[in-house]
Chain A
Amino acid sequence: MTLAVAGWRHSFSPGYRGGLVLVLLGLCVVFGLVTDHFWSALTFRTLANQLPPLVVAAAGLTLVLIARGIDLSVGSVLALAAAVLGVLTVDHGLPLAAAALVALAVGGLCGAINGVLVARWSIPSFLVTLGMLEIARGSTYLVTASRTSYLGDRVAALGATTPVLGLSVAFIGSLALVGGLQFVLSRTAFGRYVFAVGGNPTALHRCGVRPARVQFAVFTLAGLLAAAAGLCQVGYLQSADPNAAIGMELSAIAAVVIGGTSLLGGRGSVTGTLLGVLVIAVLQTGLAQAGATEPTKRIITGAAILLAVATDVWRRRRSADAVS
């Protein structure tokens, strides 16, 4: 049985990702010139260790976008999972592993609720996840009484670093996650179904696969990964802030789109998303290291997003021309 999905093959195209790598190198050269200490092992180590929350959340979001959905609740779910972990370990003395499992379950549940509403009731995911954004944030304020928890060494295990260049376990884990998810997307039947839900749902139906099940799976996974991102963040910052990750959904969407995944579904890759996250993180880190003002940071980040979207449109036109 073959499933004709144009975007599936298209997403392998290495050209765009190669371009992103060049952009990244270019950014590093520019920041190396405008700052005194950008090119140092410390810069790249801190940069790497700051990445996992956005990488993990954006990886889950990539699958949602490929399946022609959107998940606006990732930032709130991240904060909720972090808050649950903080409250359970600090106020209730639960061991870290147990608290982490509960936090992941809460994230998975938020994602599953999104999934049921989108898949079974066919409500646009924009509305469903906008509702979840509010509910998860409200729940975060509720469980924490709007207070920050300091976890300190209680979460040392989550923030552990490896002897390899001082990189964190979370960073290496997030790279493994990207590799794993990319494998699932490009080499398994489930991966093809995800592309088909976004690109060619009728064909999927003819093959006897129910698109609703695939949608449910990707939203649940996105919730679970948002919670995992929350655990990475708590491990790194050693505290849980109820206002954490407000607006992070927008950075995550930006990273996914810069990484070459189409907002219209049916095309994209998790490895591209990793590069997209890197572009955003290098911009943030470099601009901060250059001491840029808040307006400059925002304008430059916005311009980078517009550039990526324009490139996406240009690529789609070009491939459409090539077909005709």
Chain B
Amino acid sequence: MAKLNPREAVLVLFAAVAIAIGCGGESPVDEDAARPRIALIMKSLANEFFETMAEGARAHHEAHADEYDLVVNGTRNESDLARQVALVEQMVASGSDAIVMAPADSKALAPALARAQAAGVVVVNIDNRLDAEVAVEAGLDAPFVGPDNRDGARRVGEVLAERLAPGDQVAIVGGIPTAFNARQRQAGFEDAMNAAGAEIVDVQSGGWEQAQANTVAAAMLREHPELSALLCANDNMALGALAARRQSGRDDVLIVGFDHIEAVAELVVEGEILATADQHADRLAVFGIEAALEILRGETAEDLKTPVDIVTSSG
């Protein structure tokens, strides 16, 4: 075999790294045929929410290590559908007994999950609900365990509504428009604002991210000098809006967020951010795993709405 020159060697190294990154996943700590093997497939582990979810699942597994084996997988980013489909197929091929899945898309994952179910694998849908019609069409029957984003956002909006008068102007900084939970949260905010008689003067995407949300929020504050509140579909965007409020000197503008990430905890207590919603990410995957274990024991699992708590300065 020809020897590689340094340049080729480096290219090979890059290819190896690329492959390793592409196939990132974790193997179970130890294997035992008697224990069921549960595969948890999530969206981006670069997202604090899913990282917390994974940590909760790992902690639960450690406490119940004799009951099941756990394999945790995530994708590179929020919208990596192809990778999620590949992970489902990979988990089926490697002999998993159950798949607990947070789908990146509420429609596109249904066929792959239906195939897994047809192959005898238990499927539990968590976090982001699969489209009911598409699931029926694909022949998939999986219980849904997760929060109601629309209801959570409506309740965050209601906290804000208490501070608003009818006719007050508000604006929504939404998530990535193609994401199901972004649409749900926007709908929830709109429900609360319409009920309170507030006027929604602007709705734009902040791309789930601080800097973009900052640009959008700053523009909204300038264009609508009468604006009373900014409703942000996650806390990172609320932080961006907070910076925009500080820079524009409009201290009277109220800000609400969603997710209750660590970075905003203090700000909520101080009242800088009026309210946010805690979906208890650490327990979300655990509820899904428990549902999968129930089905594996031969019991039936029903749909389960997981708690969403509203956090304000008063607790």
Q: Name A residues whose Cβ lies closer than 8 Å to a Cβ of B.
A: 35-38, 40, 42-43, 46, 49-50, 53, 117, 121-123, 127, 131, 134, 137-138, 141, 145-150, 233, 236-239, 241-246, 284-285, 288-294
Q: Which of B18, B220, B263 has the most CB of A within 10 A?
A: B263
Bound CA span A42–B249, Å: 10
Q: Which of A40, A131, A138, A233 has the most CB of B within 10 A?
A: A131
**A242, closest chain B residue (CB):** B46
Does B204 make an interface contact (CB < 8 A)?
yes
- Determine whether the beta carbon of B222 is less than 8 Å from that of A289: yes
- Determine whether the beta carbon of B205 is less than 8 Å from that of A294: yes
**B216, closest chain A residue (CB):** A288
Asked if A46 meets B222 with Cβ closer than 8 Å, knowing A121-B10, A148-B263, the reply is yes
Taking the closest CB of chain A, its distance from the CB of B70, in whole angstroms, is: 19
Q: Which of B10, B17, B208 has the most CB of A within 10 A?
A: B10
From B131-139, B160-168, B240-248, B288-296, give the one contacting chain A.
B240-248
- Determine whether the beta carbon of A50 is less than 8 Å from that of B210: no
Bound CA span A35–B6, Å: 58
8 Å CB interface, B197-230 against A:
202, 204-205, 208-211, 214-216, 218-220, 222-223, 225
**A239, closest chain B residue (CB):** B239
Kindly list the 3 A-B residue pairs having the minimum CB-CB distance in the complex, ordered from nearest. A288-B219, A150-B263, A289-B219
- Determine whether the beta carbon of A146 is less than 8 Å from that of B239: no
Contacts of A290 in B (CB 8 A): 223
Bound CA span A49–B211, Å: 12
8 Å CB interface, B1-24 against A:
6-7, 10-11, 14, 17-18, 21
- Determine whether the beta carbon of A121 is less than 8 Å from that of B225: no
Contacts of A42 in B (CB 8 A): 222, 248
8 Å CB interface, B32-87 against A:
45-48, 51
Does B156 make an interface contact (CB < 8 A)?
no
Query: What are 13 residue pairs bridging A and B, where the CB atoms are less than 8 Å apart in the complex?
Result: A37-B223, A46-B222, A123-B10, A147-B263, A150-B266, A236-B243, A237-B210, A237-B214, A238-B239, A239-B263, A288-B219, A289-B223, A291-B223
Bound CA span A1–B247, Å: 52
Taking the closest CB of chain B, its distance from the CB of A146, in whole angstroms, is: 4
- Determine whether the beta carbon of B218 is less than 8 Å from that of A46: yes
Does B186 make an interface contact (CB < 8 A)?
no
Does B30 make an interface contact (CB < 8 A)?
no
Given contacts A241-B236, A244-B209, A288-B204, 8 further A-B contacts (CB under 8 A): A53-B211, A123-B11, A147-B262, A150-B263, A239-B263, A245-B211, A288-B215, A288-B216
Contacts of B205 in A (CB 8 A): 294
Bound CA span A25–B261, Å: 41
Does B267 make an interface contact (CB < 8 A)?
yes
Contacts of A141 in B (CB 8 A): 45-46
Contacts of A292 in B (CB 8 A): 204
Contacts of A147 in B (CB 8 A): 48, 51, 261-263
**B265, closest chain A residue (CB):** A150
- Determine whether the beta carbon of B222 is less than 8 Å from that of A40: yes
Contacts of A294 in B (CB 8 A): 177, 204-205
Contacts of A35 in B (CB 8 A): 223
Taking the closest CB of chain A, its distance from the CB of B231, in whole angstroms, is: 15
Contacts of B126 in A (CB 8 A): none
Asked if A233 meets B177 with Cβ closer than 8 Å, knowing A46-B247, A150-B264, the reply is no
8 Å CB interface, B141-193 against A:
177
Contacts of A288 in B (CB 8 A): 204, 215-216, 218-220
Bound CA span A226–B46, Å: 21
Contacts of A134 in B (CB 8 A): 17-18, 21
Contacts of A49 in B (CB 8 A): 247
Bound CA span A138–B24, Å: 12
Taking the closest CB of chain B, its distance from the CB of A259, in whole angstroms, is: 20
Taking the closest CB of chain B, its distance from the CB of A164, in whole angstroms, is: 16
**A123, closest chain B residue (CB):** B10
Taking the closest CB of chain A, its distance from the CB of B144, in whole angstroms, is: 25
Contacts of A241 in B (CB 8 A): 209-211, 236, 239
- Determine whether the beta carbon of B7 is less than 8 Å from that of A121: yes
Partner of A148, one of B18, B48, B204, B218: B48
Asked if A237 meets B239 with Cβ closer than 8 Å, knowing A50-B214, A285-B215, A289-B222, the reply is yes
Asked if A122 meets B45 with Cβ closer than 8 Å, knowing A37-B225, A147-B263, A285-B215, the reply is no
Contacts of A146 in B (CB 8 A): 45-48, 51
- Determine whether the beta carbon of A246 is less than 8 Å from that of B209: yes
Taking the closest CB of chain B, its distance from the CB of A296, in whole angstroms, is: 11
- Determine whether the beta carbon of B219 is less than 8 Å from that of A148: no
- Determine whether the beta carbon of A237 is less than 8 Å from that of B47: no
Asked if A50 meets B263 with Cβ closer than 8 Å, knowing A146-B48, A148-B236, A148-B239, the reply is no
Partner of B47, one of A36, A150, A243: A243
Taking the closest CB of chain B, its distance from the CB of A323, in whole angstroms, is: 35
Bound CA span A37–B218, Å: 12
- Determine whether the beta carbon of A291 is less than 8 Å from that of B202: yes
Taking the closest CB of chain A, its distance from the CB of B102, in whole angstroms, is: 15
Asked if A131 meets B211 with Cβ closer than 8 Å, knowing A243-B47, A289-B223, the reply is no
Bound CA span A244–B209, Å: 7
**A248, closest chain B residue (CB):** B211
Contacts of B202 in A (CB 8 A): 291
Asked if A238 meets B48 with Cβ closer than 8 Å, knowing A42-B222, A42-B248, A123-B7, the reply is no
Bound CA span A148–B235, Å: 10
Bound CA span A287–B261, Å: 30
Bound CA span A284–B46, Å: 26
Contacts of A291 in B (CB 8 A): 202, 204, 223
Bound CA span A284–B48, Å: 27
